Structure formats: structure tokens, C-alpha cells
Structure 1
Amino acid sequence: MIGGRNITKITQFILLGFSDFPQITALLFVTFLILYTTALTWNLSLVVLIRMDSYLHTPMYFFLSNLSFIDFCYITSTVPKMLSNLFQKKQTISFVGCIVQYFTFSTMGLTESCLMTAMAYDRYAAICNPLLYSSIMSPSLCARMVMGSYTAGLVSSLSQICVMLQLHFCGPNVIRHFFCDMPQLLNLSCNDTFFAHVLLVILTMFFGLINAFAILISYGYIVSSILKITSAKGRSKAFNTCASHLTAVSLFYSSGIFVYLSSSSGGSSSFDRFASVFYTVVIPMLNPLIYSLRNKEIKDAMNRLQKKFICS
């Protein structure tokens, strides 16, 4: 009972997804299936390659293997359910399933935000302090930075889940998205969500703005150090060491800002749903490609692994 009224407790939600585009359902299924399998293959392959090749046991690739694992979990939290719902007449998800999906999605997204900052510091140490790089980026520091990223993402997501579990849902139960996202769930709650909105804003400020600001400071020092290099070849080599990370960071934050800050509907319109595909599906697929396409060390490691299998 809320406010003296008897209510019917919602036990499941309807994920609208892309059901308002029935004419392209088959095309969407094939497209998302290809993107998903490609993302899984590339991310898992990169994790295995880095684990198996001793030449890649460096801080940079240690962070990269964790990024690939996070992207694997991140995309798996939303896409399988979306694919299974495309051909379902009633695209439902249980309340518990919704909570678990958002918890996984949020944990991996917030962890990735922190890991991006740790990778920016790694590039700063490599370019601005090359002689002290090995002592600065020690294995223990790298492990603490990664564990800190996971812990921050986990604790922050748990705080959101604790708040969401205090909310009551008495109808409607239609989520105008292809996965359970907190803004849509707050809109469906039939009790006060002020504290939940405040928490969401605080977490967005902390993980979005503070991490982005830390990355910008790191790259400010990096650019300053690169400009001091006299040879054009040296500047080009220094820039190439951080170009992949800068590209990944730009895609990650620009897509998140576009969907969560620029959109007044919070991702509920058809356009915003398709835009959300970019940061939930496309970016996890692109990240391993961005880091591998122009990376000679990755290509050499692949050749060594291929020769090892041929010889065995």
C-alpha cells in the first residue's frame, strides 16, 4: 500500500526494444547476431593471445586484456536477451532478471570508465617518464589499479541496486528500450525517486566528468612531452603509442554523453534506442580492432602463436 492506495506489484516488465519496426526484425536479428559474435570472438581472442604470449606481459596489455574481458561481459549483459526478444510476441523480462541485467551492465560500464583512466595514466608514464616507466608501472600497481576499477564499478552498481529495490512498480510496466536501464525504471516507479535521481547524477558526475577530466590532464602532459621531441619519427612513434587509447576513449565518452546528457528522453525514443546500440554493441566490438589494427606487437604475437600451433 502506497499513500493509502492498494497497488498491484509488478513482477515483470515488457521490453519494447525494436518491436515498433516489425518490417526489419529479421535484418536486425542478423545484424546484431553478427556484431555480437564478432565482438565475442575478437575480445576473447585478444584475452587468450595476451595470456599466452609472454612478450605481451606488460602493463599496457595487462590493461587491454581486462578491457576485452569487460567488453565481453558488457555486451553479453544486453544483446542475448535482445536477440531472444526480437521474435517473441511478448517481450518480457522478470523483475529479478531486470535487476541482474542492469547490475551487470552498470558494473562493467563504470569499471570500463575507471580502467580507461588507468590506461591513460599508463600512457602518461610511458611517454613522459620513459626511463622510470618500469618502476612506476610495477605489476603490483597495475593490479591495484585494475582491482580498484572493478571495486569502484561494483560498489557503485550495488548502491544503485539497493536504491532500486526500495522502489515500487505498480504499472505501467513497459520499458521503451531493449534493455533495463535505470532512467526508464525510475520513470515507471510509483513512489518518490528523488534520491535515486540524485544518486544517478552523482555517479554520472564522478565516473563521467572526473574520469574524463583525469584523462584530459594526462593527455595534456602527453601532448606537451610529444611536442618537445625534436625528430618527426620520434613524435610519430610517441603519438602512435597512445592513438588507439585516445580513439577508444573518444568513442566511449562521446556516445555516452550523447545518449545520457544530450537526450531529454533518456533513451526512450526510437532514435535514441538505435543510438544506444553504438555504445552497448558497436564499441565493445570495435575496441579490440582499434587496439590491434595498427599494433605491430599484436600482429607479431599472432604470428608466433600461429607458428607454435603449426609446429605442434
Structure 2
Amino acid sequence: MPQEEALSTRYMAWYRFTRNPSAVIGGIMVITVVLAAVFAPVLAPYPDHAGAVVDFRNRHSAPDMTYLLGTDKVGRDILSRVVFGFRVSLLLVVGVLGVAVPVGAALGLLAGYFSGLTERIITGFTNVMLAIPPLVMALAIGNVLEPNLVNAMLAITLLWWTWHARLVYRVSKSIAAEDFIEAARLAGASHWHVLTREILPNCISVISVKTTLDAAFVILFGATLSFLGLGVKPPTPDLGSMVADGRQFLPEMWWEVLAPGFAIFYATLGFNLLGDGLRDMFDVEA
């Protein structure tokens, strides 16, 4: 019966997700972004334009059948660079959340399960880090270190773990007070068993929703850093730096800003819709 009940619960959760139009649309949008990033060399009309290609004869070309989204200030195809720009954005998401989520979740679990000094140290340090504005920290690191993708990841990750630590701490603190946790302790279960087998599985849904929503913020934050010149180095295509390069030619060459700007909007909207759908699916708050 427990297995049948688990299957029934999963089916109902999936049913709620598929009956949520915005969640399905968000999922499709995220899938298209991922596919575009993975298959960028195949999908891009001019893959070599993602590098140091210069074609001054076609610079600032308006959108047409040859260049569907026009060209930039040195004649590179904007559509090709937007497709490769998705790859940079997703690498940033994987790099940042791949570190921030495990670190934040681990600290949150420890603070929620253990009381006393451990809880005070972790929550105190987390609160101190939360008081630092993320953009200020990122600007400081970006000015000290060489602007590139790795340092951009570092700048964002140094503060991003705090949100996951605080969220998991709140959830795990509540779960740790449940009767089944006390029963596991009385049965002789180790702290490791209780943390990984009893508390963590009950936090996965909240962590999943938070991670999906954070992906949108990481993309937007990374684009902001690139816009300010603290992201990846040229000629690597990045959506934020493409907006920064194109703004100086507004309003005449509007396509140079509109295309990468819409790509940022599309990716962030997709992750936000998907995250909201997962939140309704799991019926949690994040």
C-alpha cells in the first residue's frame, strides 16, 4: 500500500502540472532554451559568427532573409550569437546553482537538525552574508579579478547559497520536530541516516522549486554583470554584453538590442513559469 500511495501521489502531482497551462508553456520554453544551447553549432545559421569573425560589408544589416535578426557592429549574425548566448547563460546557471544549492542545502540541514552552537553559527553567518548586496559583491569581485565566465560564477555563487541555506533551514527545522524523526532516533538511527534518509527527502520538492526559480534570477544577474562589462570576454557571445554593445546604436539599429533582450526575457520567463508550475505541483512555498 505505501508504494501504491506514493505512485498515486506522484500521478496526482503530475496531473496538476499538466493541467496548468502556464507551467506547460514554461516547461516548453525551458526545453527550447536547453536544446538551443546544446545544439547551438547545428542550429545557428552561421556558427563561426560566435567567434572573432569580422564582416564590415554587412555591419548593421537590418533583419532580412539572409540574416533573420540582422547583424551587429562588425557584421556578425545576431541570431547565431543569441543561440550561442543561451549556452553561456545555461553554463552560468549550472555552475552557480551546482555549487550554491548543495552548499546551502547542507548548511541548512545542519542548522535545522542540530540545535545550540551549530545552529547559531550557521544562521549567524548566513544572516551576515545576506546583508551584503549581491550586485555590490559581484562588482567588487569583478573589478579585482579578470572578467570571465568562471569569475562571474564565483561572484554570484559567493552569496547565492545563503538563500538556499535559509530556506532549507526553515523546512528542516520544522521536519526535525516531527514524531517520525524522534522515532528514528529512538530506533538507533545515526545522525547521517536521519539527515539524508528522513529530512532531506522531505526537502527535495522545496529545493527543486527554489532552484528552478533561481535559474531565472541567475540568468538575469549574469546578463547584468555582462552588461556592466564584468562577464565573459569578447568575442564570446553573451546576451548581456550584446545588449550593451547594441545600445549605443539605438534607435536606428534597434534589432541589435531587441534580439538579445528578448532572449533574456524568454529564458527568465520560461524558468519562472516552470518554477511556479512546480510549486503548484508539489504544493509548497519557496
TM-score (norm 2): 0.33
TM-score (norm 1): 0.31
